[in-house]
């Protein structure tokens, strides 16, 4: 497909601008081409600078001057002087507008004015300009449906509609469907659908909305071509709420019909697709509503409050329908997350393991269940068993960013394979470019590896998503980066703002600020170790979370207080042992500032207690370490 305007032709596939009857190519730098394409696709629209910069440089911080240079390059390429307005008009203080008439030309040579086309019948073929290729139609992202009920408590319903469609479509062989984590990261963000399609590497995007009035619901759904933003299909559905499952069947079938999905070479293809599309999660509508509320609630609030609330909803759903497999699986995953975040749940670790094993027995192909068992085993220090379960999970589904992150953070980072931890974090980010989880873990890995500029780049991506600087571990990463660059005051400011209120108000802010001054003037280290001792003694247990204890371990180690650092490590392991675990996410042990801690003989016994030598004896020593005479030597 081409765009034509005046004497120019813009070839999307070849990424080429040409002019004249002879098709003379006009060279454009890649970003200038993307800027021109963005203009042409939005001919007549007023585009402000921030919109243009986010579109052309997604997830990258650039100066406004970069955009100005691109527009200058485009104007020169089109032969437009600053006083002319044939193509790009500048509206001072507001932005730019592409004003030339644009025609869309298919490869078959047909030409028509460039305008979106809406197809409202599932069987109707889209116009040539909107048609996705057959290959592109083998991939679809399902975005959260917008809640237009006016009632925030009904938010779960739109999320649930999307999740159900995602679940059904993902079961069709040969159809690529990004995970819930990948797609739901765009919830509430006003982004161009084409950018989302590029981020998730899909050809088609499904979006929609949900309204309700009494016992009736109205769902609007639309399929959008990820390449040009045109509609492939749209439809409204008005139903009684009791017909929800039938509505989901119709929606899923219409989507498949529009994408014209086929399973080439399989004589029972229709049966395979039909079974995937028409599988009902439960026959109990109330149990299903409880499940949807739980899946929506898990994204809200502090883990110590949100996780028990989610578990309670799932338990109510299971009580109504003991055979509700998806609710059982969700509860097993929630228990695994609780272990990761040190949230106490009713029951034992063995209960959680049994629940997960039952989930695997119900559906051995479900990768998330194998990964959840990997979480359990990593938390128990059964590293080799955890590795086996994670690899089982990836053999079934390597497209889930949360699983990639979990493997990197809970296993590889903890045992000191930081470079591999980074690789998994970057893969998680590739699969879900708008999800903070992959970004934060990539930043952590880069800090441990000493790659400051890359760590800052990923922190900036997090901040652009609205994550605040005082959230751990964002504040911790920023503080450590400032410290390494000799900016002690800034390092202190970064971490002080993230202290628990009880600690900060009880003299903790001043103590931590002086701590960083003592790192500049080592003669003050002894006094600051004593000040930290006093602060730790005053802190109430609710403020001394495991995350806070790890901060103290780092601070003591940097000041030379290794006795205190190992005392805290022992207290933490004792705390976890009472729950049957060794804790999770120990990657901070491998920071360069923790080298004195790793070189202390007590580190050997700590690692043996955590079962790490079993993993190292099979897979080799951690980064920058070696095994010698049964001991770990770090340098």
Please give the torsion angle defined by the CA atoms of residues 130, 135, 139 and 140, in that order, rounded to the nearest 10 degrees: 10
Instruction: Give the DSSP H or E segment for 120.
Output: none
β-strands 146-147, 204-213: how paired? parallel
Q: pLDDT tens for residues 567-588?
A: 999 999 999 999 889 999 999 9
The pLDDT value recorded for residue 298 is 62
Q: Would you say 40 and 98 are in contact if contact means Cβ atoms under 8 Å apart?
A: yes
Q: Give the number of C-alpha atoms closer than 13 A to the C-alpha of residue 83, restricted to the C-beta side.
A: 0
Contacts of 413 by beta carbon, 8 Å cutoff, 6+ apart: 421, 441, 444, 445, 448, 585, 586, 587, 590
Question: Can you tell me the distance from the alpha carbon of 488 to that of 146, in angstroms, rounded to the nearest whole number?
Answer: 46
Measured CA distances, 377 to 14, 351, 402, 600 (Å): 50, 13, 17, 27
The pLDDT value recorded for residue 319 is 94
What DSSP string describes 503-541? Answer: HIIIIIHHHHHHHHHHHHSGGGHHHHHHHHHHHHHHS-T
Question: Can you tell me the distance from the alpha carbon of 193 to that of 364, in angstroms, rounded to the nearest whole number?
Answer: 35
**Domain assignments of the chain as residue spans, ordered by start:** 2-105, 128-279, 281-399, 545-635
Residues of the chain with pLDDT under 50: 107-132, 135, 262-269, 272
For 140, the 3-state DSSP assignment is: strand
User: What is the distance, to the nearest Å, from the Cα of residue 516 to the centroid of all Cα atoms in its chain?
Assistant: 33
The pLDDT value recorded for residue 126 is 33
Q: Assign domain 2-105 one CATH number from 3.40.50.300, 1.10.10.10, 3.30.460.10, 3.90.420.10.
A: 1.10.10.10
The pLDDT value recorded for residue 131 is 43
Question: Can you tell me the distance from the alpha carbon of 383 to that of 17, in angstroms, rounded to the nearest whole number?
Answer: 55
- Compute the residue count for the chain: 635
Contacts of 65 by beta carbon, 8 Å cutoff, 6+ apart: none
Q: What's the maximum distance between 2 C-alpha atoms anywhere in the chain?
A: 82
Question: Can you tell me the distance from the alpha carbon of 626 to that of 611, in angstroms, rounded to the nearest whole number?
Answer: 17
Q: Assign domain 281-399 one CATH number from 1.25.40.10, 1.20.1250.20, 3.90.1150.10, 2.60.40.10.
A: 1.25.40.10
Question: Can you tell me the distance from the alpha carbon of 519 to that of 435, in angstroms, rounded to the nearest whole number?
Answer: 35
Tell me the H-state helices in 346-473.
349-362, 367-379, 383-396, 401-406, 418-431, 436-449, 452-464
Query: CA angle at residue 22 from 19 to 28, to 5 degrees?
Result: 35
Fold agreement between 2-105 and 128-279: no
How many Å from the N-terminal Cα to the C-terminal Cα in the chain?
A: 57
Q: What is the pTM of this model?
A: 0.75
Q: Would you say 236 and 219 are in contact if contact means Cβ atoms under 8 Å apart?
A: yes
Q: Which two tokens stand for residue 118?
A: 């809406």
Does the bond joining 406 to the residue before it have cis omega, within 30 degrees of 0? no
State the fold for domain 128-279. Rossmann fold (3.40.50)
Q: pLDDT tens for residues 208-217?
A: 998 887 788 8
For 210, the 3-state DSSP assignment is: strand
Q: Would you say 182 and 200 are in contact if contact means Cβ atoms under 8 Å apart?
A: yes
């Amino acid at each position: 497909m081409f765009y034509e305007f005046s004497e120019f032709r813009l070839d999307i596939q070849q990424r080429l601008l040409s002019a004249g009857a002879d098709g003379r190519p006009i060279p454009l730098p890649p970003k200038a081409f993307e800027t021109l394409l963005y203009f042409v696709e939005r001919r007549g629209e007023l585009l402000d600078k921030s919109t243009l910069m986010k579109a052309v440089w997604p997830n990258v911080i650039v100066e406004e001057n970069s955009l100005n240079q691109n527009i200058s390059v485009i104007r020169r390429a089109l032969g437009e002087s600053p006083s002319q307005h044939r193509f790009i008009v500048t509206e001072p203080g507001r932005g730019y507008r592409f004003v030339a008439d644009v025609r869309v030309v298919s490869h078959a040579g047909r030409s028509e004015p460039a305008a979106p086309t809406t197809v409202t019948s599932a069987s109707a073929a889209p116009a040539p300009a909107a048609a996705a290729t057959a290959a592109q139609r083998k991939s679809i992202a399902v975005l959260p449906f917008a809640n237009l009920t006016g009632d925030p408590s009904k938010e779960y319903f739109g999320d649930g509609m999307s999740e159900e469609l995602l679940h059904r479509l993902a079961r069709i062989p040969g159809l690529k469907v990004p995970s819930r984590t990948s797609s739901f990261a765009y919830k509430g963000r006003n982004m161009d659908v084409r950018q989302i399609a590029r981020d998730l590497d899909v050809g088609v995007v499904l979006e929609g909305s949900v309204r309700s009035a009494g016992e009736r619901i109205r769902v609007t759904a639309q399929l959008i071509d990820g390449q040009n933003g045109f509609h492939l299909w749209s439809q409204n559905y008005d139903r009684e709420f009791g017909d929800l499952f039938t509505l989901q069947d119709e929606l899923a079938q219409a989507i498949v019909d529009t994408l014209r999905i086929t399973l080439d070479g399989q004589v029972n293809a229709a049966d395979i697709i039909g079974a995937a599309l028409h599988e009902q999660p439960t026959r109990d509508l109330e149990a299903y509503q409880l499940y949807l509320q739980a899946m929506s609630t898990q994204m809200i609030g502090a883990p110590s409050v949100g996780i028990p609330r989610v578990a309670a909803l799932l338990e109510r759903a299971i009580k109504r329908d003991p055979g509700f497999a998806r609710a059982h699986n969700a509860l097993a995953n929630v228990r695994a997350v609780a272990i990761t975040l040190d949230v106490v749940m009713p029951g034992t670790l063995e209960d959680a393991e049994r629940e997960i094993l039952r989930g695997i027995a119900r559906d051995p192909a479900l990768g998330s269940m194998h990964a959840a068992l990997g979480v359990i085993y990593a938390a128990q220090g059964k590293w080799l068993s955890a590795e086996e379960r994670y690899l089982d999970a990836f053999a079934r589904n390597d497209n889930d960013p949360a699983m990639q992150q979990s493997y990197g953070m809970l296993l590889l980072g903890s045992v000191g394979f930081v470079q591999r931890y980074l690789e998994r974090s970057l893969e998680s980010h590739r699969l879900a470019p708008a999800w903070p989880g992959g970004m934060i873990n990539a930043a952590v890995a880069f800090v441990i590896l000493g790659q400051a500029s890359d760590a800052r780049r990923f922190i900036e991506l997090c901040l652009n998503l609205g994550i605040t600087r005082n959230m751990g571990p964002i504040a911790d990463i920023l503080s450590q980066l400032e410290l390494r660059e000799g900016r002690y005051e800034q390092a202190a400011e970064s971490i002080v703002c993230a202290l628990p209120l009880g600690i900060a108000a009880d003299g903790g802010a001043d103590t931590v600020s002086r701590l960083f001054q003592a790192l500049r003037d080592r003669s003050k280290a002894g006094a600051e170790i004593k000040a930290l001792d006093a602060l730790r003694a005053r802190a109430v247990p609710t403020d001394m979370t495991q995350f806070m204890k790890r901060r103290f371990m780092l601070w003591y180690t940097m000041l030379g207080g290794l006795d205190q650092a190992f005392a805290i490590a022992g207290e933490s392991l004792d705390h976890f042992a009472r729950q049957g675990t060794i804790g999770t996410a120990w990657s901070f042990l491998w920071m360069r500032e923790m080298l004195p801690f790793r070189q202390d003989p007590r580190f050997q016994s700590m690692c043996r207690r955590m079962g790490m030598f079993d993993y190292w004896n099979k897979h080799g020593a951690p980064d920058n370490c070696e095994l010698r005479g049964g001991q770990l030597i770090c340098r």
